[in-house]
């Protein structure tokens, strides 16, 4: 039978995640991949996992293996209140919803809010996984202009002036894919704008804990709590395979997020949530985070100095103070897709930036480089190889 006849119209709107497809290609032996967006395996706190598991079993016994409320495991929601407080986000246990990764929240947001044809405003470029979560519900994406400091507030205001925007989706800190961070002054303007237009912002914040330099910047949620769904995750500071994400959302939105999550998975893994609760409340996270930062900081510095050393003068790139990515741009018309193919032949991979734009045809001359998965020496060598291919192409 031709099962494709059975596919829902919605399913036809979906696409495989290009990066996951690229990752399959570049996982061949010998390939240096600057393409991934994943934490280094050596950043996981493996040495405490036996103890943590024993603590969970001793403390919660069968409760850690039982069905649990959709909203999340009680002790985790409680400790997340403190965790968020340290990030300047005021919440109470009832306002927190735990999900299977922040991706789980993004999927639920799409299901709850987007009807076919609804307008969703996203940065150009934006996080591909958010587009993948929203696209099945068939929104119309509205482009928000960005510069080196992220979203340009005037562009947001212009888009909102047009009326009809369902919500705005932003990654304000160490954005995926660009690494850019919206400075405080702009955040204040954005907060004032979303209040003025009484609109909803989805603030996705997986990376703010991975800061290598500079000082922490308040979330937009802390500046306009009634207008923001704040999403974060333990994927980058604990282990992504445990799939622990969470959000703080205004009451009505949260109510519906819970209802759709009931239909999706009833609740996220109780055992993993118990591990996460003990990881934070036992002080393991606070003790382990500096070692993750100490692992990534020199890798980022190695990439920035390799770019300074090898990349041609007509290229520019972001200089983030944290996160996992650097965004590089070639001169207008330079085809990074072609460069990608040539570079893979030399066993070095990255992600061409065009995939991060909601509308086709943009970002041809851009690329995303990841530094968390590769040691300093290899980063230097890989950037040198890419730059040699660039020079040949030019």
Ligand X SMILES: Cc1ncc(COP(=O)(O)O)c(C=O)c1O
Residues lying near ligand X in the complex (CB under 6 A): 37, 101-103, 127, 129, 171, 176, 204, 206, 233, 235, 240, 245
Shortest CB 206 distance to ligand X, Å: 5
Comparing every residue's Cβ against ligand X, the nearest one is 101
Q: Which is nearer to ligand X, 208 or 222 (CB)?
A: 208
Cβ atoms of residues 310 and 384 within 8 Å: yes
Contacts of 84 (CB under 8 A, 6+ apart): 90, 91, 96, 230, 232, 248
Give the DSSP H or E segment for 245. Answer: strand 244-248
Lookup result for tokens 């929240």 = 105
Residue 91's φ and ψ, nearest 5 degrees, are -155, 170
Say if residue 356 is exposed, middle or buried (CB neighbours under 10 Å; 0-12, 13-18, 19+): buried
Nearest-approach distance from CB 345 to ligand X, in angstroms: 27
CB of 332 to ligand X, least distance (A): 27
Q: What are phi and psi of 282, to 5 degrees?
A: -80, 5
- For ligand X, the closer of residues 97 and 339 by Cβ is 97
Q: How far is the CB of 153 from ligand X (least distance, A)?
A: 20
Point out which residues pair with 96 in neighbouring strands: 248
Using CA atoms, how far apart are residues 49 and 279, in angstroms rounded to an integer?
9
- Cβ 9 to ligand X, closest distance in Å? 26
Nearer to ligand X, 171 or 390 (CB): 171
Closer CB to ligand X, residue 60 or residue 211? 211
Cα separation, 294 vs 309, in Å, equals 23
State which residue, 91 or 173, has the beta carbon closest to ligand X: 173
Residue 164 beta carbon to ligand X: minimum distance, rounded to whole angstroms: 25
Q: List all residues 6 or more positions away from 183 whose beta carbon is below 8 Å from its beta carbon.
A: 149, 217
Q: Nearest approach, Cβ of 232 to ligand X (angstroms)?
A: 8
The answer to whether the beta carbons of residues 103 and 130 sit under 8 Å apart is no
Q: Which is nearer to ligand X, 137 or 246 (CB)?
A: 246
Q: What is the rounded CA–CA span in Å between residue 179 and residue 146?
A: 12
171/292 with CB nearer ligand X: 171
Q: Are strands 201-204 and 228-233 parallel, antiparallel or unpaired?
A: parallel
Minimum distance from residue 37 beta carbon to ligand X (Å): 5
Chain centroid offset of residue 387 CA: 27
The H or E element that residue 167 is part of is strand 165-170
Tell me the two tokens of residue 327.
Answer: 């965004």
How many angstroms separate the CA atoms of 313 and 330, rounded? Answer: 9
Residue with Cβ nearer ligand X (60 or 325): 325
From the CB of 128, what's the least distance to ligand X, in Å? 9
Cβ proximity to ligand X: between 114 and 390 the closer is 114
Cα angle value 60/240/13 (rounded, 5°): 120
Using an 8 Å Cβ cutoff, are 386 and 343 in contact? yes
């Amino acid at each position: 039978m031709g099962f494709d006849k059975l596919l829902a119209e919605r399913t036809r709107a979906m696409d495989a995640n290009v990066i996951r497809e690229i990752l399959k290609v570049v996982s061949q032996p010998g390939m240096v991949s600057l393409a991934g967006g994943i934490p280094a395996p050596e950043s996981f706190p493996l040495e405490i996992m036996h103890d943590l598991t024993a603590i969970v079993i001793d403390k919660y016994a069968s409760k850690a293996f039982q069905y649990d409320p959709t909203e999340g495991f009680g002790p985790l929601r409680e400790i997340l209140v403190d965790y968020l407080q340290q990030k300047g986000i005021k919440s109470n246990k009832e306002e927190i919803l735990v999900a299977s990764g922040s991706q789980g929240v993004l999927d639920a947001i799409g299901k709850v809010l987007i009807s076919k044809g609804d307008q969703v405003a996203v940065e150009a470029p934006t996080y591909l996984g958010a587009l993948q979560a929203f696209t099945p519900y068939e929104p119309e994406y509205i482009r928000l202009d960005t510069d080196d400091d992220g979203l340009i507030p005037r562009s947001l205001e212009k888009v909102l002036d047009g009326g009809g925007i369902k919500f705005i989706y932003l990654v304000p800190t160490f954005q995926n894919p660009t690494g850019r961070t919206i400075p405080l002054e702009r955040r204040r303007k954005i907060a004032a704008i979303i209040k003025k237009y009484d609109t909803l912002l989805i603030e996705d914040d997986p990376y703010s804990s991975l800061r290598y330099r500079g000082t922490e910047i308040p979330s937009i949620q802390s500046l306009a709590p009634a207008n923001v769904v704040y999403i974060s995750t333990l994927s980058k500071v604990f282990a992504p395979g445990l799939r622990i994400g969470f959000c703080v959302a205004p009451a009505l939105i949260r109510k519906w997020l819970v209802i759709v999550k009931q239909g999706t998975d009833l609740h996220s893994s109780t055992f993993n949530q118990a591990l996460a609760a003990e990881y934070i409340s036992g002080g393991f996270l606070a003790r382990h985070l500096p070692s993750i930062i100490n692992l990534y900081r020199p890798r980022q510095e190695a990439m920035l100095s390799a770019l300074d050393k090898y990349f041609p003068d007509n290229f520019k790139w972001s200089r983030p103070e944290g996160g996992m990515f650097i965004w590089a741009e070639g001169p207008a018309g330079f085809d990074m897709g072609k460069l990608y193919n040539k570079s893979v032949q030399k066993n070095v991979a990255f992600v061409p930036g065009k995939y991060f734009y909601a509308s086709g045809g943009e970002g041809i001359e851009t690329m995303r480089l990841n530094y968390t998965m590769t040691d300093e020496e290899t980063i230097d060598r890989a950037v040198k190889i890419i730059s040699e291919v660039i020079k040949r192409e030019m």
